[in-house]
Amino acid sequence: MGRVSPLNRFILLSKVCQKIRFLRFLTHSLDIVYRRRPIAVGQWVHMWPSSDRFAIISSREAECWDPKKAHGACEWWYFDALSDDGSEAVSIVFLDNFTYSPDVGAMRNDRTPLSLSDLRPAVSFTYFSGGKAVYQAKEEVPGREFFASETEPRCRIGQSGFRYESAPYGSGYLVSVDLVLPDGEQLRANLEWLAIDSDLDPTLREMKKGGHWWNIAAPRCDVSGRITVENKQGQTQTVRSFRGTGYHDHSRDDRWLFRAVTEWNWGRAHFAGLTAVFFDVSQIGLDSARSHLILIRDGRVQLLQAENSNGASNGNANRYFSDSEDADLEVKSLKLIESNFYHQRFLSEVRLKLNGHEHAASGITEAIKPRDLRYRWLNWLNELRARS
């Protein structure tokens, strides 16, 4: 039997992984029903029971970077948007420590404090249109090319970054991305997330050690801007204008995610005068998933706690309902926006029945399985995929 070349070996592994991702997509198209009961109206539930180690807030001030971390800890700032007609989507993620990187994975048993030189910052960008991902780019940079403010929402990774600014017409986030596409073209995007609903729980709280902090800082924003692509000679090839409605959050975790979270499915949708955020999180050491539906309207927050009647979580084909609040929300995945070995992001159809009224909108949902990262060969494959 002849020797298989490294290139052919990689092609074979890529085909296998494509089939795995397809099977996982089919899995996320199954119907699952959740029964939900309300916790509170008009306030946030700031911290689950202490064993859960999962906190939810909505604070602009809390978006500041926390430099005090151990190896495996990370925080990230997430921005997404859907165009007004629902045909285009943008997602951007800034990470201070890309724990999925093979370089970081090699230090997974190191519990010493994290220094700036140890960080593996990364930024990713995806533009989706016409039923497929048109532009995708990711860049990892050395720690010396990372900056984040400890006093205000501001971050820079390489030539990309974001900052919070106030203007006479409103306040929001100016996001800029400058990345090289896989074919060598240069992508530059300048977009603004103008906050409509934000800072809903501005009181700062200290995160419990060994937990996750989810800061839904601006769940509803008006988004506008421009995406430009230049060829290798620096000539402008494509200019796309974008306008739509978006979402922004900030997360922080001081643990290796693959040791803390088994699965995390979540999504959001914007209706007229109402935003819905929904999620299921399964944590190691807990018998069942935590499932919730968050409704934001008129500056008030309503959190509905879920009971999963099927005993399994799935964030992309669910039904959330609460008899006492007359709320019934159904989610169905339509198109796969992006995927890798540990997460998938979907364009989804979301329908909400609330107090006798029906609403429909497109939404973005995501399924994350950090435990897949305990297999180091997947880290290696992810590195090859990022370089291809």
**pLDDT one digit per residue (tens) for the chain, 388 residues:** 455 444 444 445 544 554 444 444 444 433 333 334 444 444 444 444 444 567 888 999 899 998 877 777 889 999 999 999 999 999 999 999 887 655 554 444 555 556 667 788 999 999 999 889 999 999 999 999 999 999 999 999 999 999 999 989 899 999 999 999 999 999 999 999 999 999 988 765 565 566 788 999 999 999 999 999 999 999 999 999 999 999 999 998 877 666 777 788 889 999 999 999 988 777 776 666 677 888 999 888 888 765 544 434 444 456 766 655 677 888 888 999 988 777 789 999 999 988 888 999 999 999 887 766 555 545 544 544 433 3
In a domain, 98, yes or no: yes
Cα(272)–Cα(269) distance, rounded to whole angstroms? 10
In a domain, 215, yes or no: yes
Cα(295)–Cα(274) distance, rounded to whole angstroms? 7
In a domain, 1, yes or no: no
In a domain, 286, yes or no: yes
Burial of 163 (0-12, 13-18, 19+ CB in 10 A): middle
In a domain, 154, yes or no: yes
In a domain, 350, yes or no: yes
- Structure tokens that stand for 253 in this block: 């975790």
Provide the CATH number for the domain around residue 55.
2.40.370.10
Total number of domains constituting the chain: 1
Among 69, 53, 63, CA closest to 217: 63
Cα(308)–Cα(319) distance, rounded to whole angstroms? 10
Is 268 within 8 Å of 218 (Cβ atoms)? no
* DSSP type of residue 163: E
Find the domain containing 50 and state its range.
6-387
Cα(173)–Cα(154) distance, rounded to whole angstroms? 9
CA distances 59 to 64, 192, 196, 253, Å, are 10, 19, 14, 16
